[in-house]
Structure 1
């Protein structure tokens, strides 16, 4: 059960509760971060789009590539967690490794990453709820009303004790993993229309179509596993709990996604899966479930697909509110965001702000008339994925620099080799995603060649503007408030 420390005074305000503590174990933290990865949402939402827009039959192989690259990254992340006893993850580690300006740039890019992926999923959950409830005879309401209702419910849970969120996420996660495994078993037993094969992993299939777009969707599916470090202050024995939770999360997610997406390809056969994805990517998982598990299985899958998306946005809500909490304690966001509720032991004001942010963005997208799946979900997933690849690459550099300077950990594999391998993979992924970004948003010419049009420019511009804003803030603080600037690193974590 989470408790609070004694009140500590913040700069320029009356004393207020600002510290988060708790006793979350490996299981609780893994449940939270895997729920953020949203296994069923990935298989139901990202996988069909990865097959359709990416490398078709070879898409499952992208999960293997992503898992290997991210596992290298996780090695350095775990080493840093043991020696930097602060929450904040990317923000904190880059701060310690590369300095305050780079740390603040990273912090604002992280806020963009987690906010865009959360709102992307809100768009998808709004669509699914609208389609499902209308099919059951409910009034035909627009997707954004259901999305706003989800925002409100997530805001309520995020305001309260994190143990409540952990319990809710645990129950929902077990349900969604169970139904996907049931579908995998059904496909294996049935054999599929073309039999079982390893076609998704054959080189000619892996390299077909647009592997870069496929890799983008694969990396996006892992977003959230790295947030284990954000829960450091609420973890039991964080020196052991956080590294273990990180490894369990990335390996477990990788194996699950690879198996489930392979089964999805086998369910329609290598020659038919792309056509099925093109017919209705948003409902592909439900149609597949109906074919292999029958009407009851489809109903269960539909319900759990909705709860999976809900679990995802709830988990990201908790991540963002704690990121804002850490940044507030570092004196780079408004002071009130760092306060902790005396009863619920949660950063409640940060939760309210994040709820408002998500709600406003949903309203903006509704006014613009954007499609909740092919535009809101797909476009914002692209922004989040490019951002997370850059964040992880910069963090890998910070890990190498930090240990080279401090000599606190002399294990070559953990502090140099693995982080550098992860860095190379992440930089390659970032370049591929940025280069192929126009394909994702439909900015192509008459011949289908990518063109960096208005939509591409705006979305990619966000990835530049947010970290630039953090960098500028750091330079301004250094000139105008040197005391606050010097206290940034020490203030992280309260």
Structure 2
């Protein structure tokens, strides 16, 4: 009998994603070319200049340390809620609900920021190619429609789209890095820089580095659609963090070498002030204008891949909260043919339309204000989630006595992770005004949003139909 396009009430997802495919999804969410073109110059200009690459190394170390406990607990997680599931199992249903809402805020914020970035980037490219200047939000709404269609369908279609975009964007950066490495000396600097400029705080480089890793928890979010999740998820987690960390740190170092340690800070600050793209011009000077044009197109596909990944992550968070009874139950429905969270995907698309409309009507700058402020919220949110998850790992293994991995993985590393992450959060909050470039009042409001959301989610956690904190019978995945 032929399947009809009706919804499944069970909240089941299906798929056959392997390690490489999940890594594609995670690294695509990290948007390598977007980070190299956006975060790296910002880390150099506003952070510690020629040593900005250390921020990416430090971020990779922090995430790898965090991943040890995260991976140790993975075999005991039977659903795709990622941080929500881990926090709930270790610290209880209500704090887990708070964590889920923080995750929704984190990914919704960065997604809105990337829509602003995408609209700005397309308009910049169109004008450079001789086209008209159009409002950024027209391009944002156009890509939003495409993301909505792909998010509605089966996850393997999204993974194939993301895989192609990812290979191309990593490839062009590798070519640029190789050209820089083979060049005997830095290219002549086209600006008057004078003596080496003073460096900014390391905290700024660290924030933009951590922002570049957003989405790495998708290794656990896609467990329902993974092949042999108990093996696939740990391997994909370590692989994604290692690949992202090495790629970012090395690319940042190459960009610094391209302009010279004494000049790179001033160059990056000038590009930031003038609104130019430092990385595209670097590619043009080392590889040629043809490569610059290719990279400009792939920057757009990188941003698109990032948007699609965040859409999939948010839709799956909403699905889990729907079947827990915290959000409306229709969000837990899955498509009978596509095996996708189609109802949640439609709601996510509508939410994005509303938020992009608000940003467009506000008249603010899509790159500096929309993307910059949303990146600040997201970084605080993701660090807060990792702190809660590390504490949850320790409490889970102490309370359940199912220590199969050893105390180093289940106790010592998660405890050390908590202390390191709390220090990172303090450093970021202490420099938050510098990071956002906004007033103290607005910066404070943005910084406390994840904490207020955590409290609000904790209060709403008491509404969960599933009072045991586990999946209702017959809905385990």
User: 278, 294, 315: which is aligned to 2:288?
Assistant: 294
User: 27, 52, 73: which is aligned to 1:80?
Assistant: 73
Q: How far did residue 240 of structure 1 move?
A: 0.2
| Matches of 1:349 and 1:490, distance apart in 2 | 20
Tell me whether 1:405 sits opposite 2:405 in the alignment.
no
Q: C-alpha deviations, 1:339-372, integer Å up to 9, x for none?
A: 0011111101111111111121111112112111
| TM-score of the pair, normalised by structure 2 | 0.93
| Matches of 2:476 and 2:263, distance apart in 1 | 52
Tell me whether 1:470 sits opposite 2:462 in the alignment.
no
Match of 1:10 in 2: none
Q: How far did residue 146 of structure 1 move?
A: 0.8
Report the CA distance shift for 1:34/1:27 in structure 2 as closer, same or farther (over 3 A): same
Instruction: State the number of aligned residues.
Output: 459
Conserved 8 A contact 1:159-1:351: yes
* CA RMSD after TM alignment: 1.9
Report the CA distance shift for 1:373/1:493 in structure 2 as closer, same or farther (over 3 A): farther
Q: How far did residue 137 of structure 1 move?
A: 2.5
Match of 2:309 in 1: 315
Gaps of 5+ in 2: 189-195
User: 86, 101, 104: which is aligned to 2:94?
Assistant: 101
SS in structure 2 opposite 1:489?
coil
Conserved 8 A contact 2:8-2:335: no
Q: How far did residue 442 of structure 1 move?
A: 2.3
Match of 1:456 in 2: 443
Conserved 8 A contact 1:41-1:309: yes
| Matches of 1:180 and 1:372, distance apart in 2 | 25
User: 269, 273, 284: which is aligned to 1:278?
Assistant: 269
Tell me whether 1:390 sits opposite 2:384 in the alignment.
yes
Conserved 8 A contact 2:8-2:336: no
Runs of 4+ in structure 1 off by over 6 angstroms are none
| Matches of 1:49 and 1:493, distance apart in 2 | 44
| TM-score of the pair, normalised by structure 1 | 0.90
| Matches of 2:468 and 2:337, distance apart in 1 | 29
User: 146, 156, 175: which is aligned to 1:153?
Assistant: 146
Conserved 8 A contact 2:148-2:345: yes
Q: C-alpha deviations, 1:106-128, integer Å up to 9, x for none?
A: 00000001111111111111111
Report the CA distance shift for 1:191/1:417 in structure 2 as closer, same or farther (over 3 A): farther
Bigger drift between 259-268 and 15-24 goes to 15-24
Match of 1:51 in 2: 44
Tell me whether 1:489 sits opposite 2:470 in the alignment.
yes
Could you say which structure has the greater relative contact order, defined with CA pairs below 8 angstroms and 6 or more residues apart?
Answer: 2
Bigger drift between 98-107 and 268-277 goes to 268-277
| Matches of 2:82 and 2:38, distance apart in 1 | 27
| Matches of 1:271 and 1:292, distance apart in 2 | 19
Q: C-alpha deviations, 1:161-201, integer Å up to 9, x for none?
A: 11110000000000011000000001011134289xxxxxx
Tell me whether 1:438 sits opposite 2:425 in the alignment.
no
Match of 1:200 in 2: none
Conserved 8 A contact 1:17-1:339: yes
Tell me whether 1:334 sits opposite 2:328 in the alignment.
yes
Conserved 8 A contact 1:92-1:489: no
Match of 1:168 in 2: 161
Conserved 8 A contact 2:187-2:285: no
Match of 1:254 in 2: 245
Q: How far did residue 465 of structure 1 move?
A: 2.3
User: 108, 119, 131: which is aligned to 1:126?
Assistant: 119
